[in-house]
Amino acid sequence: MTTTSAPRLEEITPRTFEAATGIKVRPEQEFAVSPVMQSLAEAYVRPAGVAWPRLIVDGDRPVGFLMAFFDIDWKEDGTLFRSGLWRLNIAAEEQGKGYGRFAVQSVAAEIRRRRGKELYVTWHAGPNGPENFYLGLGFRPNGETSEGEIVGVLELS
């Protein structure tokens, strides 16, 4: 099911901070994604420009949170740089309305704008995890794992 309204992304500022940290996924999904508060803390300790956290808003409703990464030093040895979606939390009561798809499309657009050609994501396997969501959007496992998670990639070109 898709929503007929027009969601948008907003930066995390003192105005949007509480709405962002108030986004909660379903309890059985908590194994699959970090709480927003932890993601924002991780963004803070990364070099400027690497993490791209955004609140997903529809009308006046905060409906989700995403955090993208751009040109991250994937192997931490300076040989491989990748961009993608680091975190995605759609509020429990707002799932199934197209906001997750919107989040992926928004990150894809931002990577394209920066002349990137691939969108990476990692996911936990498991019945309550997001694997089929990502596969349905065209992501394909590339055969790698990262910290126990499956690495998937969406070709943007």
Ligand X SMILES: CC(C)(COP(=O)(O)OP(=O)(O)OC[C@H]1O[C@@H](n2cnc3c(N)ncnc32)[C@H](O)[C@@H]1OP(=O)(O)O)[C@@H](O)C(=O)NCCC(=O)NCCS
Interface with ligand X by CB under 6 A: which residues? Answer: 1, 25, 29, 32-33, 88-90, 95-101, 121, 123, 129-130, 132-133, 136
User: Distance between CA atoms of 124 and 111, rounded to whole angstroms?
Assistant: 23
Nearer to ligand X, 17 or 133 (CB): 133
CB of 75 to ligand X, least distance (A): 20
Distances (CA, A) of 145 to 38, 74, 97, 112, 150: 22, 12, 30, 24, 5
Q: Looking at beta carbons, which residue is closest to ligand X?
A: 100
Q: Residue holding tokens 């704008």? A: 113
CB of 108 to ligand X, least distance (A): 13
Sign of the four-CA dihedral 92, 97, 99, 104:
positive
Nearer to ligand X, 48 or 96 (CB): 96
Nearer to ligand X, 107 or 121 (CB): 121
